[in-house]
Amino acid sequence: MIEMRAFLWCNGELPSQEIIDNLGEISPLFGVDGGGNKANSLGFDVKEILGDLDSIHDNDSQTKTTLLENQNFSDLTKTINELVKRGFSEFDILGVDGGDTGHMLGVWGSLAELPEDLVIRLYHQNSTTHRITSKSGSFKFEIGENRVFSVFALSKCQNLCIKGAEWEIFNEELELSTKGLHNRGLGNPITISGDGILALIIEN
């Protein structure tokens, strides 16, 4: 089965040109409420703008809009859930930094509440976040010596393992805390696994 991948542009700070260049072709691209207008303003082809649309003051581009009214969830969560219904299962998300504190924390809330079988990446100005879940299995990556990464539990995790890093963890329990803050690579492959929802933040 072919995994369908979508790019989402949120209504936060504009990503750097370096981030945009590293992503290659950003398509298909969907706007999350006001993020759609921001992407349009930079010349990107936004396929559709979704959300409660309260940040859409004008839509000169005539981009298709879809109103998602459920106020029990954020626009990001609602947009991803809508796209999952259309067959998408992998999401690269831009524009997640900045804005008010509630919206910033809401991004992490989305990672915690969305279905665990989805692949989700967040692109920040100085780092990239990968969501790891029990359904995604062990996550393996390689970074240079002394490059910093952090692991945070977004749900209660049993049997957390971090292998190949400066500070290793074997079969430990982890909840949201600072325990996984600022680990370091050794230039070797690193493997992370657990049975909850984790956020792996790799600094650029």
- Last residue of one domain, picked from the residues 108, 125, 142: 125
CATH for 152: 2.60.120.320
pLDDT tens-place string over residues 8-63? 999 999 999 999 999 999 999 999 999 999 999 999 999 999 999 988 776 556 89
User: Is 98 in the same domain as 141?
Assistant: no
pLDDT of residue 114: 98
**What string of H, E and C letters represents the secondary structure of 89-118?**
EEEEEECCCCCCHHHHHHHHHHHHHCCCCC
H or E element, residue 78: helix 75-85
- Looking up tokens 């981009």, which residue turns up? 63
User: Is 40 in the same domain as 25?
Assistant: yes
Q: How many domains does the chain have?
A: 2
User: Is 121 in the same domain as 153?
Assistant: no
Q: Is 191 exposed, middle or buried (0-12, 13-18, 19+ CB in 10 A)?
A: middle
**What parts of the chain have a pLDDT lower than 50?**
none
- Last residue of one domain, picked from the residues 104, 125, 146: 125
Its domain, for residue 88, covers: 4-125
Q: How far apart are CA 37 and CA 175, in angstroms?
A: 37
Residue 33 near residue 82, CB atoms below 8 Å: no
pTM above 0.75, yes or no: yes
